[in-house]
């Protein structure tokens, strides 16, 4: 036996947070990852950058690899002494053919372990507000495959037993056979009035639930256009959903929201929107790069004691400034005596990461208010003020400071560069109903996004545009587009508040 080991790991039902800690730990140290069409593609990012990523997915008809070939592949990788993660949706042993894979590994003498996952039959229902058992309603649940073996005329499911089953029935892979499943249960004596539901893409932002009775559910699901993957549930526990439904009740549930800010800054917004139930698509329209020439910033940093104030108008500026400090071999102590002003809470939070507190921050998140705020604290006449900003930052702030007699040094600390999202991604995004909201957190995100997507496509879509503030809104209008909402406080939380208010008023 080699030192290799194959881990049959359950990835959980879709929500990436529903994978086990053990599974994630194994992914993080994998030499090879063998996966199929997972709902939570994001989990793959947990694997080390140099891990072998092998897709063996099964797209409904076209099996990329046959099960025997997958078994052989696992045996081969394990025999090579690798740490192999075989990642499977839900639980590996619940209709996941994990049992077959384990047997093949046993036969070949390859070491393996199993890491259970939360199966869709429990998780999708939980996220639909349907407890699979309930003390007063049912005390058992059956996990059943609704997939009939191809070519088999007779059903191999014992419908008589299923119709008489005194608990919840959960059918996997049954959407295509839904008419047959319901008809067979009724034919074998199950009450046609028994509550039934289908939960599609459970635990994900795309979750969709329809409910009815054993008699009506086929028509309801057809009318709603429910396709796989979906879980079919039959039983009185379905009725509890009316009260317990929680996931689909979150304020931004079902909304597709595009985040256009630079990738490195997107994760916080994304996390907040997702927590409110939105499906977030990150399409960065800009990225932040080092300036063409970093000498001016380096020089300013090496003479930092000559300055009275530093004004940071973005978190990127803070990052760039401390990058230059690092290059100069300096740390926060070099700033003793120099006062610091930030434009808003996000920038202040970034500053705090470097162990510094702000001396000033305007009440409103506006460059135009910075000078006034400073003037209240300090006589600006003759003061030296450093402004490490974007290469394209408007000059207004510098002019305001100069008008008060200050000596402002405007330095391009970073560059904002247009980022073009892949056309395939965009085509996918605008297919069907397209996004519900596109969020813009700066003028440059607007300009670059419109250029990348094309004005025609934007005008033709039903997407509403959300702007962080008046400057960004002006840029939106300059393209003859409408800023449907504008944040009252020009911060990310302000933008999210505006989305929530807009959503509420639509309901």
Query: Residue 266 phi/psi, 5° resolution?
Result: -75, -30
Of residues 101 and 319, the one with the C-beta less far from ligand SAH:
101
Taking the complex as a whole, how short is the minimal distance between the CB of residue 74 and ligand SAH, in angstroms?
A: 16
Nearer to ligand SAH, 76 or 176 (CB): 176
Distance set, CA 390 to CA 317, 319, 361, 415 (Å): 7, 12, 19, 6
50 is catalytic: no
Report which of 94, 100, 95, 125 is spatially closest to residue 6, judged by C-alpha positions: 100
Helix (H) or strand (E) holding 265: helix 263-275
Please report where in the chains the tokens 């990348």 appear, as a residue: 452
Catalytic residue among 31, 76, 173, 358: 173
User: Strand, helix or coil at 232?
Assistant: strand
CB nearer to ligand SAH: pick between 49 and 225:
225
- How far from the centroid of its chain's Cα atoms is residue 372's Cα? 40
Eight-class DSSP state of 36: -
Query: Residue 118 is encoded by which pair of tokens?
Result: 């939360």
User: Which residue out of 58, 111, 180, 366 is catalytically annotated?
Assistant: 58
Place of tokens 């052989």: 72
**Residue 58 is a catalytic residue:** yes
CA angle 133, 138, 139 (to 5 degrees): 70
**For this structure, is 325 an active site residue?**
no
Closest CB to ligand SAH among 231 and 367?
231
Report d(CA 358, CA 74) in Å as an integer: 56
Q: Tell me which residue has its CB nearest to ligand SAH.
A: 90
Q: Please report how close the Cβ of residue 249 comes to ligand SAH at its closest, in angstroms.
A: 18
Q: Which residues contact 290 (CB under 8 A, 6 or more apart)?
A: 320, 414, 415
DSSP 8-state class, residue 332: G
CA–CA separation, 32 vs 73, rounded Å?
11
Would you say 88 or 339 has its CB closer to ligand SAH?
88
Q: Are 445 and 285 in contact (CB under 8 A)?
A: yes
Shortest Cβ 386–ligand SAH spacing (Å): 52
In the complex with ligand SAH, the residue whose CB is nearer, 94 or 162, is 94
Give contact residues for ligand SAH (rule: CB under 6 A): 13-14, 39, 88-91, 94-96, 119-120, 124, 172-173, 199-203, 228-231
CB of 148 to ligand SAH, least distance (A): 13
- State the nearest-atom distance from the C-beta of 125 to ligand SAH, in Å: 9
Please tell me which residue in 15, 19, 36, 319 is annotated as part of the active site: 36
- CB of residue 17 to ligand SAH, shortest distance in Å: 13
The CA dihedral of 92, 94, 98, 99, to the nearest 10 degrees, is 140
> In the complex with ligand SAH, which residue's Cβ is closer, 84 or 94?
94
Shortest Cβ distance from residue 128 to ligand SAH (Å)? Answer: 9
Q: How far is CA 198 from CA 122, 123, 124, 216, in A?
A: 13, 13, 10, 12
Percent composition of the chain: helix, strand, coil (DSSP 3-state, to 5): 40, 20, 40
Which residues form the catalytic set?
Answer: 36, 58, 173
């Amino acid at each position: 036996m080699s030192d290799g080991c194959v881990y049959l790991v359950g990835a959980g039902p879709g929500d990436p947070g529903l994978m086990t800690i053990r599974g994630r730990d194994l992914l993080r140290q994998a030499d090879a990852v063998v996966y199929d069409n997972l709902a939570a593609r994001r989990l793959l990012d947990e694997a080390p950058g140099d891990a072998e990523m092998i897709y063996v997915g099964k797209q409904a008809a076209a099996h990329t690899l046959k099960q025997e070939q997958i078994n052989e592949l696992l045996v081969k990788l394990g025999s090579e002494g690798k740490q192999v993660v075989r990642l499977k949706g839900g639980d590996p042993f619940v209709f996941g053919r994990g049992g077959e894979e384990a047997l093949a590994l046993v036969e070949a003498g390859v070491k393996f372990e199993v890491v259970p996952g939360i199966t869709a039959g429990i998780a999708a229902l939980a996220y639909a507000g349907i407890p699979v058992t309930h003390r007063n309603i049912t005390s058992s649940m059956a996990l059943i495959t609704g997939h009939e073996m191809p070519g088999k005329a007779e059903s191999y499911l014992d419908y008589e037993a299923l119709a008489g089953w005194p608990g919840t029935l959960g059918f996997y892979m049954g959407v295509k056979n839904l008419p047959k499943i319901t008809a067979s249960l009724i034919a074998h004596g199950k009450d046609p009035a028994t509550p039934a539901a289908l939960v599609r893409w459970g635990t994900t932002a795309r979750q969709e639930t329809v409910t009815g009775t054993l008699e009506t559910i086929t028509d309801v699901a057809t009318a709603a256009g429910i396709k796989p993957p979906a879980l079919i549930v039959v039983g009185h526990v379905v009725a509890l959903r009316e009260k317990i439904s929680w996931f689909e009740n979150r304020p931004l549930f079902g909304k597709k929201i595009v985040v256009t800010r630079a990738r490195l800054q997107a994760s916080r917004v994304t996390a907040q929107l997702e927590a409110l139930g939105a499906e977030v698509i990150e399409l960065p329209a800009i990225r932040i790069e080092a300036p063409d020439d970093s000498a001016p910033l380096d020089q300013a940093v090496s003479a930092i004691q000559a300055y009275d104030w530093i004004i940071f108008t973005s978190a990127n500026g803070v990052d760039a400034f401390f990058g230059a400090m690092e290059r100069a071999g300096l740390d926060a102590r070099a700033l003793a005596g120099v006062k610091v002003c930030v434009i808003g809470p996000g920038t202040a939070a970034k500053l705090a990461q470097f162990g510094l507190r702000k001396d000033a921050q305007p009440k409103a998140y506006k460059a135009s208010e910075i000078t006034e705020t400073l003037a209240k604290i300090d006589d600006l006449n003759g003061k030296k003020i450093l402004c490490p900003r974007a290469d394209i930052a408007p000059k207004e702030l510098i002019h305001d400071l100069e008008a008060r007699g200050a000596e402002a040094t405007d330095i391009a600390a970073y560059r904002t560069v247009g980022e073009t999202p892949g056309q395939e991604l965009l085509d996918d995004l605008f297919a069907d109903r397209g996004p519900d909201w596109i969020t813009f957190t700066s003028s440059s995100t607007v300009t670059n996004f419109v250029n990348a997507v094309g004005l025609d496509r934007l005008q033709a879509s039903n997407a509403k545009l959300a702007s962080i503030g008046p400057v960004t809104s002006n840029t939106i209008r300059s393209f003859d587009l409408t800023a449907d909402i504008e944040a009252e406080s020009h911060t990310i939380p302000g933008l999210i508040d505006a989305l929530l208010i807009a959503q509420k008023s639509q309901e």
